[in-house]
Amino acid sequence: MTITTYALHLLVILFASIFTENILLARFLGMCSFLSVSRQVKTALGLGIAVVFVMTCTVVLDWLAFQYVLKPFAIEYLRYIIFIIIIAAFVQFIEMVIERYSPVLYQNLGIFLPLITVNCAILGASLFMVIREYNLGEGVVFGLGSGIGWMLAILAMAGIREKLNNTYIPRGLQGPGITLILAGLMALAFIGFTGVLTSK
Amino acid sequence: MPNEKNIKNVVLDTLWRDNPIFRQILGICSALAVTNLVLNTMVMGAAVMFTTALSSLTVSLLRRWTPRVVRMMIETLIIAFYVILFDQTLRAYWPDMSRSLGPYVGLIITNCIIMGRAEAFANSNKPGLSLIDGLLSGLGYAVVLLAVAVIRELFGMGTILGIPMPFFSSNLWDRWIIMVMPPGAFFTLAIIVWIFRTLQFSKQIEAKGTGK
């Protein structure tokens, strides 16, 4: 494979993970925080940035652990536990680093970090990485793209929900109900991107 | 031994009044993706029931010897243990199903319901009651997802469990492709939640009226 085709291949993975196979709207991962933290654009942005960062780093760490520890010892079935521990430890580590060196950033992003450990999108990205047998380059791009896709979806949802505050919504549909319907409409919109990749 | 009244309350609470999906839409991440086929959903529901029940039982059995500070970590490990057990069994005896469920069996670990039951119930209750609570929480969850799956497969493909249904598989019915695609899952769940919440609100209003 030449360098240009490889670059193109990576670009396709990036585009696919952001739009056509959006980890939230097409794979349903990270729904819990998506539904509960999408009330304001500002908090959604904070959580989104944190997810992009953590997801990219943990996919790389999990890839290294899978290739160099789990595979040689033939204990792939332990990957769920190992991945969870890596994610929790990484988040804890980042929290301490940020707290120590950048109090401003800690004030803005710090509260979101514990939420991320239980975000299934993070673990999901690593598991998809294993199932699709990505190499390191593909894994990085996939983690980055999935994170960006998740951030894009929660930002758009927060923007819509801020506008919805002044609208009449039937009582039974308030809260999660209307959010699910909005997510469905957004998923429809994102399906529109599918044609871009196949027609190429 | 748990007494009658407690069991009845637990059953009602977990299945209807506090059904995790209706109340807070918790834990759908790991399962909504497989609701396009009824069979996949049944296996997934069984996996969640199995994990919730046994991890609640284990957490409850170990509750006296678990230090409070590290209990979250221990609970996660217990849950992961049962998920791996289920995943390996599925892979050995039903590899096709294991492949089509993909990473979603593993994602049961991050399902907030299981952790929630361990934290909120199993931590402070007797093993027997915790087992029942876990089993029913899993059941309440599975039933809702099964409802979503039945609607999606019926409208989207005209079948249930792969068996063609009388009206929906004939030429009279235009298959709704949208139902098998991701948006269908969102819309179907939204409508089910809408119906449930409306019912609950009207019951609340009724209760208030008679109270006066």
pLDDT in tens, B29-65: 667 888 888 899 999 999 999 999 999 999 899 888 8
Whether the predicted pLDDT of B21 surpasses 70:
no
Kindly tell me if the per-residue pLDDT of B5 is higher than 70: no
pLDDT band (50, 70, 90) for residue A29: confident
pLDDT of residue B83: 92
pLDDT band per the 50, 70, 90 thresholds, residue A60: very high
pLDDT of residue B137: 85
Q: Is residue A4 over pLDDT 80?
A: yes
Q: How far A165 CA lies from chain B's nearest CA (Å)?
A: 18
Q: Indicate the pLDDT class of residue A139, thresholds 50, 70 and 90.
A: very high
Lowest-confidence pick of A40-49, A146-155, B7-16: B7-16
Q: Is B166 on the interface with A (CB under 8 A)?
A: no
User: Is the per-residue pLDDT at A86 higher than 70?
Assistant: yes
Phi/psi class of residue B161: alpha, beta or left (left: φ > 0; alpha: ψ in -120 to 50)? left
Per residue, the 3-state secondary structure of A146-162, as one string, reads HHHHHHHHHHHHHHHHH
Q: Inform me whether the C-beta atom of residue B186 falls under 8 Å from chain A C-beta atoms.
A: yes
**Nearest-CA distance from A45 to chain B in Å?**
21
Which pLDDT belongs to residue B10? Answer: 67
Inter-CA distances, B182 with A3, A72, B86, B104, B195, Å: 35, 37, 26, 15, 21
Task: Give the model confidence (pLDDT) of A74-83 as tens digits.
Answer: 888 888 889 9
Query: B181–A183: do the CB atoms touch at under 8 Å?
Result: no
Any B CB within 8 A of A184 CB? yes
Q: What pLDDT, in 10s, does the model give residues B181-205?
A: 888 888 998 888 888 888 877 777 7
Q: B211 or B78, which is more confident?
A: B78
The answer to which of A142-151, B63-72, B129-138 has the lowest mean pLDDT is B63-72
Tell me which chain A residues have a C-beta less than 8 angstroms from the C-beta of B24: 36, 176
Smallest CA–CA separation between A5 and chain B, in Å? 29
SS (H, E, C) chain B: CCCHHHHHHHHHHHHHHCCHHHHHCCCCHHHHCCCCCHHHHHHHHHHHHHHHHHHHHHHHHCCCCCCHHHHHHHHHHHHHHHHHHHHHHHHHHCHHHHHHHHHHCHHHHHCHHHHHHHHHCHHHCCHHHHHHHHHHHHHHHHHHHHHHHHHHHHHHHCEECCEECCCCCCCCCCCCHHHHCHHHHHHHHHHHHHHHHHHHHHHHHHHHHHHC
Contact list in A for residue B86 (CB cut-off 8 A) is: none
Kindly tell me if the per-residue pLDDT of B210 is higher than 70: no
**Nearest residue in B to A175, CA atom:** B24
Q: Kindly indicate the confidence band of residue A40, based on its pLDDT and cuts at 50, 70 and 90.
A: confident
Q: Give residue for tokens 């939640």.
A: B193
Interface of A with B in 87-126 (CB under 8 A): 88, 118-121, 123-124
- Whole-model pTM: value is 0.84
Position B12 pLDDT exceeds 60? yes
- Enter the ipTM: 0.83
What pLDDT digit, counting tens, does each position of B109-150 carry? 887 778 878 877 888 888 888 898 888 888 888 888 898 899
* Inter-chain CB proximity B201 and A78 less than 8 Å: no
Residue A127 predicted with pLDDT over 80: yes
Q: Is A74 an interface residue toward B (CB < 8 Å)?
A: no
Angle at A53 between CA A48 and CA A56, to 5 degrees: 120
Residues of A in contact with B141 (CB under 8 A): none
Residue in chain B nearest A183 by alpha carbon: B186
Average pLDDT of chain B to the nearest whole number: 81
Chain B hits for A173, Cβ within 8 Å: 190, 194, 197
Maximal C-alpha separation, chain B: 63
Residue A147: what pLDDT?
93
B76 CB within 8 Å of a chain A CB: yes
Residue of A nearest to B20 (CA): A32
Residue B18 pLDDT exceeds 70: no
